[in-house]
Every structure is written in structure tokens, then in C-alpha cells.
Amino acid sequence: MTTVQLEAGENLQNLHLQLIKTGPELSLPALDFSTTRGGSGHASALVRVKGVHVTAADVDLNLHYKDLDVQRLLLLLASLNPEDKSVPLPVLRLARRAERRARRQQLAPGSILTNGVLRAVVHVQADRVNYGAVRGRSFELLSHLRDGVARVDKCSMRAFRGQIDVQGHMLLNVNRQHHPLQLQMRLQDVELPDLFAAGLAIGLTLPDQDNIRGSMRCAVDLRTDLDSTYLPRLEQTVGYVQADMRDLELHNVEALTQTLKFMREQRTSHLYFEPFSSEFILNRTQVLIPSLNLNSNLSNMQISGSYFLDGRANLYIGLNPMQALFGDNEKRIERIQQSEPLRRPNHRLTYVNLQRLTPATRYSVRLFKGNEQRQQQAILRQQFRQLLITQGLDSTVNLQR
């Protein structure tokens, strides 16, 4: 067999197979093939039939690529689905299908991919990989397909100069326009400039990659919906994030320079931070920060509030003005770089509200009192708890596997 044409634009070719039929069972001990996009594959299957209908199928599929586009892979797997009720069909084909359906009402409805007939194990490896704006290498995926659900047992790759590991599951039996996805993801030692560059490439409003340095480890519990091209819909995405930051530096970040514009630029243009841990929630385009405690070369700081990925913001920033104005900036930088803990003076912080209601406009900055900040923080923490509950997010995810 030379070529099998599939809807996804990636066809199978150079097929070599063995097929053995014993009564109602079809055994496919070996199927080797290549794809028109540079992949190679090996599969085996055991199929039970009744007449001309498949009643059960167990498939083991292994694929390898030098260069893999994950979106095209998912489209390829979806194109193996012989029936999708969301796709309009000509009237005559609908009529013929209705006749066939009436004759097989005793069999499971829907496609073999979504009605429980098919059970499959899919193992994919790739030397280099891309998914949207993400570029990586050493990709590996292990997934089980059954009853209309793709369970992702393992998905890993090297990206952003670190490691990404994913587990979760995706519903296949909704329709081809959207695919609900729930996953837990761990990022190990990823570099923030690379991560922010990917965010900027998909249109998020973030500090430029040249304005940030440092690395991050984080664990994420995420709910999203993939569109027809298998990319996440941001407006349908919520997630809980627990993060550890190391070696963070911010250089000429607009939000901070406008907050600290009453000080000399030499002290505020380049900030160094001690390692810190935090948690926050991604609620569609909103990043909700209940409390973030920082220690920098300028001052110990506290940040809470909301930042929106389109550039809007409503942040509450506390700092120690005596430290900021008269502290030994160079000495604090030296101690941070040598991993010596900085002292945290027991001084009250002065708070400012940093707000931008419309993207791509200047921030407005106002001072406010500590009791107002405490009230706002209590409201933020209540919103945080409510989102955890209403969205079913798992806040027990941790950075250790």
C-alpha cells in the first residue's frame, strides 16, 4: 500500500502491514509507515468485528519525528476519527447514514474514537518540537485514548532553557471546534526572558524580554479549552500557579519606574531581588496576586492586586521609603548576588496604588493609607479563595514530582 490520505494534510505512505483474521477477530501484529511530514511510525492492533462493523479495537501506536508541530499531530490523530457529528454532511450522505444507523442500533453510537469502541496507547517522540510560540526539543508524549477521553500520562520537553512536564486529560467527544483540557504542569528552571518572549509573540502585554532576567520553577493546575487549531482559548482559561523565582532582575520596567518616579533613576532603573516564592491565579486575562513579599536592592516590598495580560492593572505596592532613599544600594546588590540574606527592618511600608484602566496608557499613581491596603488585600484574598472553589482548582500542586 503506497498512500493513505487523511483530512489533516499529513498522509501516511510506504505502508507495510500484516493482517490475520480469525473468526470475528482481526489481528494486525505490525504496521510500519512514514508520513508526508517527516514522521515514521509503527502500530499494532487487535480488532473485533460484527459483520462490517467494528465492535472493539485495541491499538498501540508509536510515532517519531525529527521536527514535530504539535498542532498538526493533534489534527492528524483527530483525522483518524471517521465520524464527527459536528461536521455538516450532504443530504444524500445523511440519508444513507440514517439507514445504516437504523440497522445497527444495537451497537454503540458515534465514532470509534469517542464511543468506547477504541482503546489506544499513543507514544510520540521528537527531536525538535514547536507548539504555537513554544520551541523545544527532546519531546515525548504518552497518552491513553478511551471512552472519548485522551489521558496524558506523560508529556515532556526541554524548552525555555529548562524542563516542562505535563499530565492531564482532554475530552475528544465534544466537537472539533473545542476540546476541554485539564492539566497539571511543572516548569523546572525555565529562563524568564525566553518565557516572556513567547508570551509577547502571542500578543500578551508583558515586560520586554530584554527588561527581565532570572529563572523560575512553578507548578500549575490549569483548566482551558482548545480551539479548532488545538491552541488554548485565553478567555476560557483559569489556573492556579505556585512559583519560585531565582536571580530576578528588572531593568527599566514601566510599572516600577512610574511608581518610583520621585526617586533618582539611577536607583530605580535596575532592581535586583532575593529568591522568593509566591502563588497567584490566572483568571482568563487577569493575574490575581493575593500577596507577594519581595526584598530588593532598593527596599523590602509588598505587592498585591491584579494585572491583566492586555496591559491593564490595579496593583498595590508597598515599600520602605527610608530604605529606598538612603539605603546602601550597591551593598544590597552585592549581598543579593552573593546569596546573603538581607535584613528586613521592622518599619511600616508606604503604599501606592498603581492603576491603568485602559491598555497602552500611562499608569496613574496615588498614595493610600495602610488600613485601606489591608481592606483591599482582604478582598483580594476572598476573591482568590472563591476562584479556587468555583473553578475546582487544585492548590495542593507542588514543585516536586
What range defines the domain where residue 392 resides? 177-401
The x, y and z cell numbers of residue 176, run together, are 472539533
% helix, strand, coil for the chain, step of 5:
20, 50, 30
Return the C-alpha cell found at 294: 519581595
Q: Which of 2, 142, 7 is nearest to 61 (CA)?
A: 142
SS3 396: coil
Sign of the C-alpha dihedral, residues 267, 271, 276, 282?
positive
Residue pair 216/188 in contact (Cβ under 8 Å)? The answer is: no
pLDDT beyond 80 at 345: no
Question: Tell me, what DSSP letter sits at residue 320?
Answer: -
Q: Quick one: pLDDT at residue 115? A: 61
Structure confidence at residue 69 (pLDDT)? 95
> Considering the domain boundaries, does residue 84 fall inside one?
no
Answer yes or no: is pLDDT of 242 > 60: yes
Is residue 22 assigned to a domain? no
Q: Cell 536607583, residue?
A: 267
Q: Which residues contact 257 (CB under 8 A, 6 or more apart)?
A: 265, 268, 269
What is residue 107's predicted lDDT score, i.e. its pLDDT?
A: 42
* Portion of the chain with pLDDT greater than 70, in percent: 87
Cβ partners under 8 Å of residue 102, min gap 6: none
**How many whole angstroms separate alpha carbon 144 and alpha carbon 9?**
24
On whether residue 293 sits in a domain, the answer given is: yes
3-state secondary structure at position 374: helix
- Using one digit for the tens of pLDDT, what is the confidence trace for 40-85? 999 999 999 888 788 889 999 999 999 999 999 888 777 665 443 4
pLDDT digits (tens, 9 = 90+) for 153-169: 999 999 999 999 999 99
Query: φ and ψ at 257, to 5 degrees?
Result: -65, -35
Contact 44, 29 (CB under 8 A): yes
pLDDT at 93 over 50: no
More reliable by pLDDT, 77 or 193: 193
Number of domains in the chain: 1
Q: What is the predicted pLDDT for the residue at 75? A: 83
Side chain identity, residue 391? Q
pLDDT for res 91: 39
Distance from chain centroid for Cα 348: 38
H-helix or E-strand containing 321? helix 321-326
What pLDDT digit, counting tens, does each position of 292-325 carry? 999 999 999 999 999 999 999 999 999 888 888 8
Q: What is the pLDDT of residue 79?
A: 67
Question: Does residue 344 lie in a domain region?
Answer: yes
Residue showing cell 483518524 = 80
Q: What is the predicted pLDDT for the residue at 81?
A: 53
pTM: 0.86
**pLDDT in the model for residue 247:** 96
Of the listed ranges 71-75, 130-134, 161-165, 173-177, the one predicted with least confidence: 173-177
Comparing CA positions, the residue from 297, 333, 299 lying closest to residue 319 is: 299
For residue 186, tell me if it sits in a domain.
yes
- Whole-angstrom Cα distance, residue 330 to residue 121? 57
Give, rounded to a whole angstrom, the gap between the first and last alpha carbons of the chain: 45
Dihedral sign for Cα 41, 46, 49, 53, please. Answer: negative
352 residue type, one letter: V
pLDDT of the residue at 344: 67
pLDDT of residue 92: 41
In a domain, 386, yes or no: yes
In a domain, 30, yes or no: no
Given a cut of 80, whether residue 338 has pLDDT beyond it is yes
Question: To the nearest whole number, what is the mean pLDDT of the chain?
Answer: 86
Residue 386 pLDDT > 60 = yes
Nearest Cα to Cα of residue 222 among 186, 178, 270: 186
SS3 339: coil
Beta bridge partners of 3: 13
385 domain-assigned: yes
Indicate the DSSP class of residue 273: B
Q: Which is more confidently placed, 399 or 192?
A: 192
